[in-house]
Structure 1
Amino acid sequence: MRFLGEFRGLDWVLLLLLAGIQLFGIVGVLSASYSEGMPILFKKHLLYVALSWLIIFLLSREKFRNILDLSLYIYLFNLFLLVLVLIMGREVYGAKRWLNLGFINIQPSEFMKLSLILLTAYVLPHIRRLRDRKVLLLVFVFSIPAVVTLKQPDLGTAATYFVPLMVMLFVKGVRIRYFILAGLTLLITSPLIWNLLKDYQKKRILAVIDPYSDYLGSGYQLIQSVIAIGSGGITGKGVLKGTQSQLMFLPEAHTDFIFSVIGEELGFMGTSLFVLLVFFFLLRIFSYLRIAITSSEVLFIAGVFSLFFFQYSVNILMTLGLFPVVGIPLPFVSFGGSSMLTFSIMIGILMSIYRELTGVVPVLAKEVNYE
């Protein structure tokens, strides 16, 4: 009975929405791995899904404060792994982002997203004004992994690090004028930033404007993705029947472009249901802000929400040809153990916060009656 009580304390609305999202990922990875003749990818994906639920249930039993107190050590360990990638990382398609641990390949840059949100949630409540020395510490904390990640190179992930930070600063109460000033600074320095980009990065950005200008190069993925989604029609071609994915016209179908596989095989109705699940999933996470008590809880929830929102939005817009091609996976859908486990840890910590907050009233009542 006590064991069942542990499960009753979880937010099953959020978890059921998560299960629905993961189901789309299972179907998508099955189709993509089948076309590539690599069923091992599908088996690994199922293992990652199973591990994600184990992580969620285990972390839900831990107190948020205990996890938060370890944030600096988690960050330093993750930073060590990130630097280690540059020294002895595995190179794939000219990018060195993975670390081979023998039994598994991990991508430390994915785990760094969680580390930065946790550490920011720990440090930011102690900052009272922008001139505080801790602000410089926070800038330093974000700058190092961003620079290291850019060296891999991985511009998309490096830029992703700063999305939760901006949202968390806004939630903290930083005045709008500072965000406007930052935006103007970015706009003014954009020519310099453009010159610092590598040629292939420039081509990916220009491909959004006119993908057919480089049909067999930077525009190829976007064109094939749009064709796949558009050819799905209303109801789709059926699972394992998508021509773009099964005939391998669509690159990276099991990772960055898995939404294209879903669109082709499940059609407008399937993608609409998926987007609806994602919408309510995000809405449920956002609702946690109403019950959060401490600043750290509020900041962590806001950081996690913004990261999920950003990655879902960018990935879907990318597959529709409305955003440059960047290496940002679709959370809980794209194949990839590091991404799946990172986001599972976030959900597990959210479950921990939910259980503590929803159990506050009865616990206090018992303490008062006892006294």
Structure 2
Amino acid sequence: MALEIGLAACGVCLVFFGSMFVPVRSCDSGDGIFVQWLMSLAILIVGFFTFWIQNFPGFYPLAMLGGAFWTIGNATAIPIMHRIGMAMGMLIWNTANCTMGWAGGRFGLFGMKANIPASPILNYAGLACVIVGGILFSQVKSTPAEANEQKKTKRHSLKLEDIENSAEKQALNPNPGSDTDDAVDVQIAVPAKQKENTVSEKEKIGAILLSLLAGAFYGNTFVPVIYMTDHPEIFVGYPTDQLSYVFSHFFGIFLTATIIFVVYAIFKKNRPYVKSECCLPALVCGLFWGIAQSAFFIANQHLSQTITFPIIGMLPGCIAACWSIFYFKEIRGRRNLTILGIAMTFTALGGAIVAISKDFKF
């Protein structure tokens, strides 16, 4: 029964983690600090609801540290997506997240107890497939949604300019057959804003490196909670149910996001980048993430990090890739779609093998 509950929780994580950034992709979220703070507010609401369902099991300050780790990593999410797109960003930082979380659970890093699956060979094979999928994902060239909008705007402005130039030419030369027609020089200029918004290769490489760093922070978000549940001799009387730590974990997210926003507002001389149109989408993002993270706690308890991180760490990126292909049109072209299809196959296969490795000996 534990396996079924754990896998069901993984399914909830896949859907909500893979879709969490969709509401804010169409908003002008700027540097993302304000959006993150609104997300943390919604996350705190989900945490309090869970706290209430659990009959107020207590507050555990150490669990806040894991929330702080996640918030620091998440502060880079919006800038990353602006440069390499939602799918690419999620797939790269999820690869680092998956590897870090798996290693922590498998080898007992940071004081946690090692969780060895029934079949280490299958577990290693599944992880290898997931990592190969992550490497292939990094070879996919995507166009961020913002760039697609800029291209549409540019094409629209060029059409308007052609119409205006044609009208001007006709006014200057009512007789189309005369030589005067050649004297009118029609020039189409690329707007300065268009050049400014172009993402350079250097920025893309920086975003990829930042994605790896974010993944490292994401991969350690459960360490404090698992450390407490693994050492009842130290934390006497603490609950063994990981869901009991959700509110403390989520409060750490809200507190860290608030500190980051206040420091950011001071740095910007009380002129933070705030867009009212992002308010509701950001809150929805926070609700999605809060639900998914709560399910992640349940999955960890029933399956262990050795199983959950390769599944939840990578498969949501496949959901995000579907959003990028069919909705945002960030990934196009036969080559990119072929590589993406192979990468998703490796990732899904790896996730399935990892799930089997918990109980199946090989």
TM-score by length of 2: 0.32
TM-score by length of 1: 0.31
The higher-RCO structure (CA 8 Å, 6+ apart) is: 2
